[in-house]
Amino acid sequence: MRAVIAEDSVLLRIGLVKVLEIAGFEVVAEAADAEGLLTAVEQHEPDLVLSDVRMPPGFTDEGVRASLLIRQRWPDMAILLLSQYVEERYAADLLSGNISGVGYLLKQRVADVDEFVEVLRRVAAGGTALDPQVVSQLLVRRHSDPLDRLTAREREVLELMAQGRSNAGIAERLVVSESAVGKHINSILSKLDLPRADADHRRVLAVLRFLGVS
Amino acid sequence: MRVTTASPSWLRPLKGAGPATACLALGAVAQVATLLLLVFAGGPVGVVAATPVLTPIQRARLHACLDLEIPPPPKTGGDTYKERVLHWLQAGSSWRQVGYHLIAAPLIALAGLLALALWAASAAAVTVLLWRLGVGPQSWFPLTGGIGRQVLLTVVGVVGLYLAATLSKALVRLDTRAASACLGPSRADQLARRVAEVSESRAGVVDAADAERRRIERDLHDGAQQRLVSMAVNLGVAKATLPDLPEHARKVIDEAHREAKEAIEELNNLVRGLHPAVLDDRGLDAALSGIAERAPLPVRVKVDLPQRQSPAVEAVAYFVVSEALANVVKHAHAAQAEVSVERIGDTILICVSDDGVGGADLAAGSGLAGLAKRVASIDGTLSVNSPVGGPTLVSVELPCAR
């Protein structure tokens, strides 16, 4: 699989290339700003775009805006955004519409290489990856609602679902069996009146809609 | 210790008499214009009409002769010519100027002419002996008779000079006072102007402080934070790609990796409190969920603002919530907290409440005093309601533009 990187810090770009190579990606182009990213994507049409959010010249949300443009033109291209800070507002922009093949994570998550490699593969395969911090920010917005009916464990599971993890991923994280996770999920979906869906990304979509994204 | 050499004491009464006399002489000349207006150009109405020209002339005269700086009278605005005239006629400052040109200045000029005449007569009297030597005894009274009369006249002339100097200076003092009172802004105007200046400079200081926070945030983001992340990534890569390391080396790398990640976390929290980029980019609502999420207790955020506020107001509001929540975490022992931001009329009301132990005090150095100062810097108010036993409510009102 081929990837394009956009990151204005040279040091970090070198690290990202190494991690992508570990994950089995071939880095076909590196850009230092949003304009360079768009040119590189146009030229290479990669399978995955890995981009920083805050880049020259404005240092605000250039990466998010570039990603939206890319998704408009190449809806199937997987995009993983990295940022020093994650903001639920940018996540909402990014996830409006098609949420498959989208990721939004804190930069420091790259340091946990094994987990990040898994995220890269998941997003490239059409999955979703939301930083736990984004999910907690989304929960901050909810007011006196069905969320209060969830048990502490169910809330944990819901957060992991919103991050885009599969049943197996959630089970591994919580050190429980997959069937236990399945039970929790069923209970959550019925308490929140969410539709049951088999495909992972449709389930993520339902959860994110519930949390007020898109 | 006296360094400057004082002029001889007998000359002292004459000191400053020169500029004062010049000022009076010019004042008398200026009255010729007023006189002409009174006689040939509509009488007092002409003077009223000419006031906008006369005032700068008088201010220039006092400035040139006495180095006296009278600030210009307050400007009266208006879009059309008619409006400007109307506004001018309605302003109290205009009529004070007219009063000066019609009454004070002519009276002082008249007295000034007397002073000038006294100067001239005294000067002539003092020099009478020289005249006699030059032209010899004449039939004109002062130069006839014995030398005794001329000596007496000289003495009278000296006295006259002192009198003229004293009179001139007294008249100029009077003129100065009248002009300051009539031609410049009134005390209320001056205070209003001063308040406006102070407000402006304070806003400048507040803006500069915000800009500084933005700059520090940006510097840390581009510098230390990126370096730390890239260090953590490299350590992570080392862990993942070097499986055959000896046990102690692996331990060192693990430790460094963990330390680096913790440092990133700490620095992020610190920098996030300074001024997040999302605040400029998307506004207060978008920025607040970040600080609420960071707090180690459940926080609910509700923001209801119809539009973006000024950067200064947004920055203070953000800082208020950030600091108030930090206080809750440090002191309140609370199980949960709530943040609400809404606009009521032309104020923004920010409430941060918690269900903790209460007893928070503005005076007790809990960080609330610093918060109150920051709020006051943009004319906001902060109040704390925190009975011992709780709950605590910190409410802040910030003025906002409609």
Q: Are residues B228 and B304 in the same domain?
A: no
**What's the pLDDT at A201?**
65
* Domain-located, residue A124: yes
The domain boundary residue, chosen from B274, B304, B328 = B274
Cβ of A61 within 8 Å of Cβ of B260? The answer is: no
Do B170 and B232 fall within a single domain?
no
Distance to chain A for B280, nearest Cα, Å:
8
Same domain, A93 and A146: no
Q: B330: distance to nearest CA of chain A, Å?
A: 20
Whether B394 and B314 share a structural domain: yes
d(CA B292, nearest CA chain A) in Å = 7
Judge contact between B59 and B105, C-beta under 8 A: no
Closest by Cβ to B234, choosing from A15, A59, A138: A15
Q: How many CB pairs below 8 A link A and B? A: 110
Q: Rounded to two decimals, what is the model's pTM?
A: 0.70
Distance from CA of B350 to the nearest CA of A (A): 16
Q: Which residues of chain B have pLDDT under 50?
A: 1-2
- B43 token code pair: 């009488």
Domain count, chain B: 3
Say yes or no for a CB contact (<8 Å) between A19 and B278. no
Residues of chain B contacting A, Cβ within 8 Å: 218, 221-222, 225-227, 229-230, 232-237, 239-241, 257, 260-261, 264-265, 268, 272, 276-278, 280-282, 286-287, 289-290, 292-293, 299-302
Does the residue A137 lie in any domain?
no
- Residue in chain A closest to B221 (alpha carbons) equals A84
What is the distance between the alpha carbons of residues A40 and A45, in angstroms, rounded to a whole number? 8
My answer on whether A180 and A87 are in the same domain is no
Alpha carbon distance B16, A145 (integer Å): 85
Domain that holds residue A195: 142-210
Half-sphere CA count of B112, side-chain side, radius 13 A: 25
Same domain for B166 and B220, yes or no, is no
Of A12, A88, A143, the CB nearest to B233: A12
Mapping DSSP to helix (H, G, I), strand (E, B) and coil, where does residue B97 land?
helix
Choose among A112, A117, A194: nearest CA to A161: A194
For B267-325, the pLDDT digits (tens) are: 988 888 788 888 888 889 889 988 888 888 889 899 998 888 888 899 999 999 998 99
State whether A175 and A70 are in the same domain. no
Could you tell me if B370 and B306 lie in one domain?
A: yes
Same domain, A161 and A122: no
> Does residue B62 lie within any of the structural domains?
yes
Cβ of B281 within 8 Å of Cβ of A133? The answer is no
What are the tokens at B302?
A: 């509700």
Closest CA in chain A for residue B280 = A60
**Within-domain flag for B1:** no
Asked if residue B314 and residue B220 are part of one domain, the reply reads: no
Asked if A22 and B243 count as a contact pair (C-beta separation under 8 A), the reply is no
Say if the Cβ atoms of B233 and A136 lie within 8 Å: no
Determine, yes or no, domain membership for B193.
Answer: no
Please give the tally of structural domains in chain A.
2
Residue closest to B334 by CA, chosen among B297, B288, B290? B297
Q: Does A136 touch chain B (CB under 8 A)?
A: yes
Question: Do B289 and B233 fall into the same domain?
Answer: no
Q: What is the domain-level CATH number for residue A158?
A: 1.10.10.10
Per-residue confidence (pLDDT) for residue A194, from 0 to 100: 80
**Percent above pLDDT 90 for chain B:** 23
Residues of chain A found within 8 Å of residue B277, distances taken between Cβ atoms:
54, 59-61, 85
| pLDDT at residue B2, as a whole number | 47
**Which CATH number does the domain housing residue A80 bear?**
3.40.50.2300
Residue at B201 is within a domain? no
The CA distance from B339 to B330, in Å, is 17
Per residue in A87-143, pLDDT (tens digit) is: 888 888 888 878 889 999 999 999 999 999 999 999 999 999 999 988 888 888 776
Q: Does a structural domain hold residue B289?
A: yes
A104 shares its domain with A182: no
Integer Cα distance of B386 and B357 in angstroms: 9
State how far the Cα of B27 lies from the Cα of B11, in Å rounded to an integer: 26
Interface probe for B, chosen from A107, A114, A148 (most Cβ of B below 10 Å), is: A107
Same domain, B262 and B288: no
For residue B45, the enclosing domain spans 9-185
Q: What is the pLDDT of residues B16-60, one digit of tens each?
A: 788 888 888 888 888 887 777 777 777 777 777 777 878 888 888
Regarding beta strands B299-304 and A128-130, do their DSSP bridges make them parallel or antiparallel, or are they unpaired? unpaired
Question: Of B247, B274, B301, which residue constitutes the final position of a domain?
Answer: B274
Which domain-ending residue is among B243, B274, B305? B274
* Number of separate helices (H) and strands (E) present in chain A: 10, 6
A143 in contact with chain B, both atoms CB, cutoff 8 A:
yes
B260–A87 C-beta distance less than 8 A: no
Same-domain check for residues A114 and A153? no
Q: What is the mean pLDDT of each run of 10 residues along chain A (214 residues)?
A: 94 93 95 94 96 88 92 93 90 84 94 94 92 88 74 89 88 91 88 74 76 71
